[in-house]
Amino acid sequence: PLMLHRRAVLLLILVALGGTAFLWWQANAPNRAARRALERRGEGYSLAELTALAQTVPEPALWEVAGWRAWEQEQPSIAQTCLLRARSEGALSPQGYGLLGDLSAEAGNLEDAVSFWEQAVVQDAPQAGLWRRKLAQVAESRGDWETALEDYRALLQRAPTDPELICHLGMLLAVLRPAEAPAYLETAAAPASPCAALAADLQDALVRGNLQDDPVYTAVLVGRALGGRGEWHLAAEAFRRAVERNPDYAEAWAFWGQALEATGQDGSRALETALRLDPASLTAASLNALYWRARGQPEKALVYFYRAASREPQNPLWEIEIGATLAQMGNISDALAHYRKATTLSPDDPAPWRSLADFCLQYGLEIKETALPAARRSVILAPEEAASVETLGRVYLRLGDLDSARRFARRALSLDSGYAPAYLDLGLIAALRGDDAQARRMYQTVIALAPDSPAAAQARRLLQP
């Protein structure tokens, strides 16, 4: 009986221990699930399960996992809430800070975005370059060029052979530290470089400026090189520095006004200052004319263009601008006469001939009688110039000669593979031949190559259902 009693007691103890173990195992099920969720980075768990675990188990890192799952499911507000909770508990990774910055930027909270990206960069994760680049872009958009320069220097340290970074640093230095720019621009001007043409222009500007030993003149030349390649924000900074150093430099004020207008700002004060400083300046007159024409007041623009033409009667540019302004006023016949006059002033220059052809195409005038011979003349004078070749192709397109139009569009691309108008022509040709899929591809290429160009605007209209 004693033995049986002992066995019974032992059995009861074992049962009790087993029950306790089971209760302990059951109580710790959320902890085990949390560990599995962390090990798998949330894979196999729903967002609801992850947030429930994060609220139940003292594992702060679960909030970041839940944040990433919410982001994957395109629920940005929930993702942001989860990531902020992880941050408040000191459990947010550099990647989490980076995502939190992206979400803040998308929500329009740029100050918060910058703060989070800076935290991501400080922790020096493998993706730090991505966030540093975003910080550099924000600094540029704000006109904080010195900060942008520091960011791009740091980026280049991480990727010293990146051609785009070398290009960008060369551009910034040409404006901010001209003496340091040549080393980078020399690399950026290599034929395979993505900014070879701009780098070559900047090299030329710096050389010409150094010959004059005038930093203000150098800044203007650099700004014009940047503006000529569409880098208007940085060009505006170059011109701003020029007028800051020499407030009496009328042309610097005029170019600054042009750059401000090109970046969506008000350049009227700078343009007015240029004319006040030098009423006889052709640069100030022409840029003021362009300003008024863009404002829909061509009659004011015409005064300045006529003034410029009286000062330079042999310059075909003024005849072309007078023609464009008259056309805006609805005086098409007189406008055509000025375009014709431009070709007589400079018969061996392809630009006036191309402008005449473009004008006829724009207004549907004398396509066969005037536009075709003008475009042909332009190609004869500049057979290796993509713009002239494409213009001739566009004339053939208007005349319905699709084979010739396609041939010249492709020839233009053989001369300049990034010439967006030629891709637009190929898209129109494909559409006329019933190949809508090919047409769409061409329109999308136009937008990718030159998103802010008139060709891209037309491509977007054509892509609309």
In the numeric block, the tokens 């290429």 are attached to 445
Cβ(356)–Cβ(338) below 8 Å: no
**Torsion from C-alpha of 216, 221, 226, 229, nearest 10 degrees:** 170
Spacing of C-alpha 19 from chain mean position: 67
Supply the DSSP symbol for 58: S
The mean pLDDT of 43-71, rounded to a whole number, is 73
Cα 281 to Cα 267: distance, rounded to the nearest angstrom: 17
Predicted local distance difference test score (pLDDT) of residue 396 = 97
pTM of the model: 0.72
Walk me through the domains of the chain, giving residue ranges and CATH numbers. 193-278 (1.25.40.10), 418-465 (no CATH)
Mean pLDDT of 430-451: 92
Alpha carbon 52 to chain centroid distance? 42
Measured in whole angstroms, the distance separating CA 167 from the mean position of its chain's CA atoms is 14
Residues in the chain: 465
Spatial distance between the Cα atoms of 109 and 126, rounded to a whole number of angstroms:
25
pLDDT exceeds 60 at position 19: no
Say how far apart CA 378 and CA 342 lie, in whole Å: 13
Residue 18, pLDDT above cutoff 70: no
Confidence band of 42 (pLDDT split at 50, 70, 90): low
User: Mean pLDDT across the stretch 441-450?
Assistant: 91
CB of 355 closer than 8 Å to CB of 341? no
What is the DSSP secondary-structure string of 278-305? -TT-HHHHHHHHHHHHHTT-HHHHHHHH
Mean pLDDT estimate for the chain: 87
Spell out the residues 6+ positions from residue 149 whose beta carbon is closer than 8 angstroms to its own. Answer: 169, 172, 173, 176, 177
Question: What does the pLDDT average to over 118-129?
Answer: 80
pLDDT at 46 over 90: no
175 Cβ partners below 8 Å, 6+ apart? 145, 219, 222, 223, 226, 234, 237, 238, 241
- CB neighbours of residue 402 within 10 Å: 15
Percent of the chain with pLDDT over 90: 59
DSSP 41-73: TTTT--HHHHHHHHHHSS-THHHHHHHHHHHHT
pLDDT value at residue 317: 93
CB-side neighbour CA atoms (13 Å) of 335: 22
Q: Count the neighbouring beta carbons within 10 Å of the beta carbon of residue 440.
A: 16
Q: Would you give the DSSP letter of residue 366? A: -
Rounded to whole angstroms, the Cα distance separating 338 from 368 reads 19
| SS3 state of residue 192 | coil
From the CA atom positions of the chain, what is the Rg in Å? 33
What does the alpha-carbon distance between residue 103 and residue 117 come to, in Å, rounded to a whole number?
Answer: 11
Closest CA to 280 of 264, 304, 263: 304
| Residue 24: per-residue pLDDT | 39
Identify the pLDDT of residue 365: 94
Confidence of residue 3 (pLDDT cuts 50, 70, 90): low
**Average pLDDT for 75-99:** 87
pLDDT at 21: 41
Cβ proximity of 80 and 108 under 8 Å: no
- Check whether 47 has a pLDDT greater than 70: no
**Lowest mean pLDDT: which of 5-14, 179-188, 210-219, 445-454?**
5-14
Which of 5-14, 15-24, 217-226 shows the highest mean pLDDT? 217-226
Range in 19-23, 42-46, 427-431 the model is least confident about: 19-23
- Tell me how far apart the alpha carbons of residues 290 and 284 are, in angstroms, rounded to a whole number: 10
Q: What are the Cα distances from residue 383, in Å, to 177, 197, 419, 422, 423? A: 39, 20, 15, 15, 19
Question: Cβ contacts of residue 79 below 8 Å, gap of 6+?
Answer: 67, 68, 70, 71, 99, 103
Residue 11 has pLDDT above 70, yes or no: no
Confidence band of 361 (pLDDT split at 50, 70, 90): very high
Q: Answer for the pair 259, 232: CB distance below 8 angstroms, yes or no.
A: yes
Give the integer Cα–Cα distance in Å for 463 and 465: 6
| Residue 16: pLDDT over 60 | no
The residue with tokens 């621009």 is 185
- Give first-to-last CA distance, the chain, whole Å: 94
Place 26 in a pLDDT band, splitting at 50, 70 and 90. Answer: very low
Asked if 405 and 394 count as a contact pair (C-beta separation under 8 A), the reply is: yes
- Tell the burial category of 325 from Cβ atoms under 10 Å away from its Cβ (0-12, 13-18, 19+): buried
- Residue 331 above 90 pLDDT? yes
Query: Phi and psi at residue 43, in whole multiples of 5°?
Result: -65, 130
Residue 22 pLDDT greater than 50, yes or no: no
